[in-house]
Structure 1
Amino acid sequence: MSKQVKVGIVGGAGYTAGELIRLLLHHPHVEIGTVVSSTQVGQPLHSVHDDLVGDTDLTFASELRGDEDVVFLCLGHGNSREWLLKTPLPPRTKVIDLSNDFRLAADQKAGGREFVYGLPELNRAAIRTADSVANPGCFASAIQLALLPLAAAGLLREAVHVSAITGSTGAGRGLAETTGFTWRTGNISTYKTFTHQHLGEIGETLVGLQPGFGQPVRFIPYRGNFTRGIFASVYTTCELSVLEVQNLYSDYYRAAPFTVVAEQEIHLKQVVNTNKCLLHVVRHDDQVLITSALDNLLKGASGQAVQNMNLLFGLEETTGLGIKASYF
C-alpha cells in the first residue's frame, strides 16, 4: 500500500491511547496527524506517555485536523456517543471506538453511522466493509474467544461459568483506591460479580452464533496485583471427547493470526505486550475447561483496534502487530 493512512486519536491521555500511539508510530502504513486531549493541549505526548521519549515530537491538540482517514475514540465509557454527535466527521472518515458505547446491537447507530462489532475472529468480513467499528471489551474478548467454537457448533447446553483476573490497567488511568500500588500489591478481590458490563456483548455474540441459547454466563471478575493482562478460566458442559473439542478449536481458529490454541497449559507472561490470545482446552468429567489469556491493553483494546484498522483499509491483518511477549 503506497498511501499512508492518516490517523486521528481523541482522548489521547489514557492508557489505551498511549498503547495505540506506541503501535501506530511504528506501523509502516500510518501517519499520526493529531492526538486530541482536552486536558493536555500543547504538551508533548511524552510528557504523559513517557515511554514515548525519543520516539515522537508530537504535541496534544485541541481538535482534529479534518483530513483523517480514521479516527480512534479513546474516550471514557459514555463519552464517545456524545462526542460523535457533537463533532460530525466526513462520511469518508472511518471511526474505531474503544469504549462500550456502540458494542450492543441496540446502540450501534449514531450520527449517521452504523457500527460493526469489532471482534475479527467473529466478524472479519463485516469489519472489512464497515465505516465504523466498536472495539470489544477486554474481558469480553478473552471470554468470547474461549466460547466462539462451541457456540458456532451449537454445543452450548448449560450455564457457562467464568472466573477471570485482570491487571490494574484495566481500570484506566483515573485515580481510585483500588488501583493504587498500596491497595493492589499483595491483594486480590472480586468486583461486579455476575453483573459486569461486558456480559451484554458476550450474550449477544453467543445468541447470534447459537440462536435460542438462553443459559446464563456466570462471571466472577477479579482485580489482580499486577499491571496488565487477563487470565480467564471458562467451563461448561460438553458432550465431545477431549480430542474432538481440541480439534474443534484448532479448526475454528486455523485462519486467525492472533488466536492460538496451545497444546500445553498457558500462562499470562506468554501474552503480555502482544496482540495474541492463547487458549488451552481440556476436559474434566462432563465439563470442558477453556483457559484464555491476553493482554488487556493490546488484544483487549489498542492492539485489536489496530487489527481492525488493518482490516478496514485492506492491509495485512498482522501489520504493525509483530511484537514479542515481555516474558522475562
Structure 2
Amino acid sequence: MIKVGIIGGSGYTAGELLRLLSLHPEAAIDFVYSTTRPDTPVSSVHQDLKASLDLNYSADINAEVDVVFLCLGHGRSKAFLEQHEFSEHTKIIDLSNDFRLKDDSKHQGKEYVYGLPELNKQEIITSSAVANPGCFATAIQLALLPLAADGSIADTVHTHAITGSTGAGASPSDTTHFSWRDNNISWYKPFTHQHLGEINQSLSDKSGKDSQIMFLPFRGNFSRGIMASSYLQYEGSLDQAGAIFREYYESAPFVHVSDEPLHLKQVVNTNHCFIHLHKHEDQLLVTSVIDNLVKGASGQAIQNMNLMFGLAEQTGLKLKASYF
C-alpha cells in the first residue's frame, strides 16, 4: 500500500482527494495535517466522509510517508517545505501554482515536473516531485495540445471558459455566496488569468513557437465543472482535425473525442475530459469539459500518483458521472 500524507485538509481539493483516496485500492491515508483543527475528526469538515473515513486531523507530520499531497493556498507550498522536511524517498505532489512554471520548478534539490499526464507522462513516471496543473489550464491545454503538436496553431486563439463556484475555493467571498451566484454570471481577470503562464508554456514547448491565448474566464451559477470553448483559424477539414485529436489521445484513458456537442453532466464527479470539434468556414471551434475538482485538481493528482508508483492511470479513478 502507498502510505499517503495530506497537507492542508480543509479545502475543496483536499476533500475530493480524501474522498478518492479513501476508495483507492492501493493507497492508505496516514495523516491529514492541520494546525487549526488538530485531533478533530476529518469528517467534521468533510461531512460526506462521515461513514467512510475514521481519521482525525493531526498537528504532526510523518516524514516517512511514500507520497505527500500539498493542498495549500498558492504561494504557501514553498514556505511549508522550507519549514518541514520529508524523507528522500517521499514523493511530492503539489496542487498549488508554486512550481508549475519552469523558472519556479527547482526547489530544495528537486525539480518539479509539470503534471499533465497527456503532455508529460514519461517524465511523471520517473519523477519524485510533480506540480499539478490548474483547472482552467487543464481544460484549455487538453483542447489545444493536439493542434500545437501538429503545428496547426498559426494565429491567436480565443478562449472563453466558465467554471463552477468550487473553483474559487471553500472560503466565502462576495462572488461565491449563494444569493450572488444564483441566477448570475460574470467574467473576471480578462486576458490576465494566472493559468495563462502554464498554458502558454506547454503550447509553446509542444509547437516550438510562442502562442497567444486570449482567455476570458467566467463565473458560472453552478457548483462543479468547467466548459472551455476555444476557436482559431484552421485550414484543414473537420475530418483532418478529428484524426489529429484521436491519434494524439489514442493512449490517454481519460480524454475522449466526441462527435456530439458536450455538456457538463458528462464529466462531473469523474476524471474524464470530453472534447468536441466544430468547423465554421475557416474557424475551428474546440470545446472541452472537465470536473474542476477531479480532472482539474484532485483526480489528476491521483492520476499522477498512479504513474509515479507504477500503477495503471485509472486505478481508483473509475468514476461514473452523475447524469441526473
- When the two structures are superposed, what TM-score results if normalisation uses the length of structure 1? 0.98
Q: In the TM superposition, what whole-angstrom CA distance separates every residue of 1:81-114 from its partner, at most 9, and x where no partner exists?
A: 1111111211110000000000000000111111
Q: In the TM superposition, what whole-angstrom CA distance separates every residue of 1:127-179 from its partner, at most 9, and x where no partner exists?
A: 00001000000000000000000000111101000000000000001110101
SS at match of 2:88: coil
8 Å Cα contact 1:164-1:222 kept in structure 2: yes
Q: In the TM superposition, what whole-angstrom CA distance separates every residue of 1:36-56 from its partner, at most 9, and x where no partner exists?
A: 112211110110000001111
8 Å Cα contact 1:41-1:59 kept in structure 2: yes
8 Å Cα contact 1:13-1:40 kept in structure 2: no
Displacement after TM superposition at 1:213 (Å): 2.8
1:40 correspondence with 2:31? no
Alignment of 1:5-44 (within 5 A): 5-44=2-41
8 Å Cα contact 1:262-1:278 kept in structure 2: yes
In structure 2, the residue matched to 1:112 is 109
Alignment of 1:27-106 (within 5 A): 27-106=24-103
Q: Distance in 2 between matches of 1:57 and 1:266?
A: 38
SS at match of 2:296: coil
In structure 2, the residue matched to 1:277 is 273
In structure 1, the residue matched to 2:134 is 137
8 Å Cα contact 2:39-2:56 kept in structure 1: yes
Q: 1:316 aligns with which of 302, 312, 317?
A: 312
1:234 correspondence with 2:230? yes
Displacement after TM superposition at 1:249 (Å): 0.5
Displacement after TM superposition at 1:72 (Å): 0.1
Q: 1:189 aligns with which of 186, 190, 205?
A: 186
4+ runs deviating over 3 angstroms: none
Displacement after TM superposition at 1:240 (Å): 1.0
Q: Distance in 1 between matches of 2:143 and 2:31?
A: 36
Q: Distance in 1 between matches of 2:156 and 2:202?
A: 15
Specify the code of the residue in structure 2 equivalent to 1:221.
P
Displacement after TM superposition at 1:212 (Å): 2.0
Displacement after TM superposition at 1:261 (Å): 0.4
Q: Distance in 2 between matches of 1:12 and 1:145?
A: 28
Q: Distance in 1 between matches of 2:53 and 2:204?
A: 45
Specify the code of the residue in structure 2 equivalent to 1:256.
A
Displacement after TM superposition at 1:230 (Å): 0.1
Displacement after TM superposition at 1:63 (Å): 2.1
Q: Distance in 2 between matches of 1:37 and 1:168?
A: 24
Q: 2:215 aligns with which of 213, 219, 228?
A: 219
8 Å Cα contact 1:229-1:294 kept in structure 2: yes
Q: Distance in 2 between matches of 1:92 and 1:43?
A: 29
SS at match of 2:13: helix
Specify the code of the residue in structure 1 equivalent to 2:227.
F
Residue ranges of structure 1 left out of the alignment (5+ in a row):
none
Specify the code of the residue in structure 1 equivalent to 2:106.
K
In structure 1, the residue matched to 2:201 is 204
Residue ranges of structure 2 left out of the alignment (5+ in a row):
none
Q: Distance in 2 between matches of 1:233 and 1:246?
A: 16
Alignment of 1:166-185 (within 5 A): 166-185=163-182
Q: 1:294 aligns with which of 286, 290, 294?
A: 290
In structure 2, the residue matched to 1:125 is 122
Q: Distance in 2 between matches of 1:212 and 1:67?
A: 42
Specify the code of the residue in structure 1 equivalent to 2:241.
V
8 Å Cα contact 2:64-2:86 kept in structure 1: no
8 Å Cα contact 1:88-1:111 kept in structure 2: no
8 Å Cα contact 1:235-1:288 kept in structure 2: yes
Q: Distance in 1 between matches of 2:110 and 2:179?
A: 44
Specify the code of the residue in structure 1 equivalent to 2:306.
N
8 Å Cα contact 1:238-1:287 kept in structure 2: yes
Specify the code of the residue in structure 2 equivalent to 1:153.
D
Q: Distance in 1 between matches of 2:174 and 2:31?
A: 33
Paired residues in the alignment total 324
Displacement after TM superposition at 1:285 (Å): 0.8
